[in-house]
Structure 1
Amino acid sequence: MSALFNFQSLLTVILLSICTCSFIRAMMPTLLDRRKTGLLGIFWKAARIGERLSPWVSACCLIMAFTILFW
């Protein structure tokens, strides 16, 4: 089943992409900073969300991990 049709899988993919983009931007900032517009700008925006809302993103990751493991 695709992640588009299952809401929990869609949230998992979004959270993982936010965390991954934030990590990539922390390690290699020029990689995402060059592509702020267009289709690849989504990854830059995800990195900004991960940087600015990091306590909320980490709380959502913990909640998502708990629901995946124990639900």
Structure 2
Amino acid sequence: MSALFNFQSALLVLLLLICTSAYCHQLFPGFMDRNKDGAFTGIFWKCARIGERLSPYISMCCCVMAVSLFIGN
């Protein structure tokens, strides 16, 4: 099933996007800050902001998602 039609898969993709964007922003802050106004790269900058400011909640969501995937299989 596609991630667009499965809520759990869509949530997993969103969490991975936020975590990856925050990690890349930590490695390349100049590149991410320079491209924050574009349509495609602006999404990554916004996800990086969410990941940096809400990191305890994002990490809890990742742990809950990992446990639910482990129990579901």
Tell me the TM-score normalized by structure 2: 0.92
The amino acid of 2:9's aligned partner reads S
> 2:10: which partner in 1?
10
* Residues matched between the structures, number: 71
1:1-71 matched pairs, under 5 angstroms: 1-37=1-37, 38-71=39-72
Equivalent-residue separation in structure 1 for 2:6 and 2:27 (angstroms): 32
1:39 Cα deviation from its structure 2 partner: 2.3
Structure 2 stretches of 5 or more lacking a match? none
More helix by share: 2
- Tell me how large the CA RMSD over aligned residues is: 0.8
Q: How big is the shift at 1:51?
A: 0.1
